[in-house]
Amino acid sequence: MDKLSPVDLSTLHERVYSRLREAISQGDFVPGEVLTIRTVAASLGTSSMPVRESLRRLVAEKALVQLANRSIAVAPFDLALFGELIRIRMAIESMATRYAAQKRTPELISRLTELNERMKAAVHDKDVEALLDSNKTFHFTIYAAAEMPQLFEIIQGLWLRTGPYLRAAYRSVPGAERHFLDGTRVHARVIQALEAGNAQRAGANIALDIGFTARRFGPMIAQLYGKPDESAQTTVA
């Protein structure tokens, strides 16, 4: 009687959480959009209880923010905050890369080169979604190799907060693929440094990768999703 595959025994609020997290991560919501419990519950076909807990968890992870009204909204874009997060990401992700360099294996190198090839192909095909996915996978493959689960989760939290903006920018900037052609070159240098066991150079290039894309798309994001006053300033200036 072992014909039965194991049933999904996750709780409802876990599934709701995953769905919401995925949606936020992919930039499906516009920054600042208010999420009401009842509405989300209705559209997901559940009661409000699981939605409440999911929203509160996402607020704790700072993917969502709680307004003074006590309503919950997608984190609005803030250029200063974005800049700080990028600086933190540069420091933390290059640290993870340095650790990964110490634990490198031939398998890691070959997997990374393969992922970078896939990314080049996505650039050629102008397939934005595949591009973003291969880029993300490339980075997280390195961070996983560091074998520091806590650090890995911190990085995941940071991607959850910066990812949506970058995805939105990529999608709306015409010819954004060109930028990633340079990205694959930086990735190649990362692979090279990892293979040589040069932790410093590998980490520096990861930081370069992050900082470069942020500088390239940051102002674009501010224009897309900036607060009224910010965009007003931009328009005036």
Binding site for DNA (CB under 7 A): 9, 11-13, 34-39, 46-50, 52-53, 66, 68-72
Distances (CA, A) of 29 to 13, 33, 138, 170, 204: 19, 7, 25, 15, 33
Shorter beta-carbon distance to a second copy: residue 34 or 60: 60
Distances (CA, A) of 138 to 4, 28, 57, 219: 36, 23, 27, 25
**Cβ closest to a second copy, residue 61 vs residue 133:** 61
Candidate residues 37, 41, 151, 160; the one interacting with a second copy per rule CB under 8 A: 151
- Shortest Cβ 33–DNA spacing (Å): 12
Is residue 15 part of the contact set for a second copy (CB under 8 A)?
no
Residues near 180 by beta carbon (within 8 Å), at least 6 away in sequence: 119, 122, 123, 131, 135
CB of 195 to a second copy, least distance (A): 24
CB nearer to DNA: give 11 or 200. Answer: 11
Q: Count H helices, E strands: the chain?
A: 10, 3
154 near a second copy (CB under 8 A): yes
45 binds a second copy per the rule CB under 8 A: no
* Residue number with CB closer to a second copy (87 or 136): 87
CB of 13 to DNA, least distance (A): 4
Contact partner at residue 214 from a second copy, DNA, none, CB < 5 to 8 Å by partner kind: none
DSSP 49: H
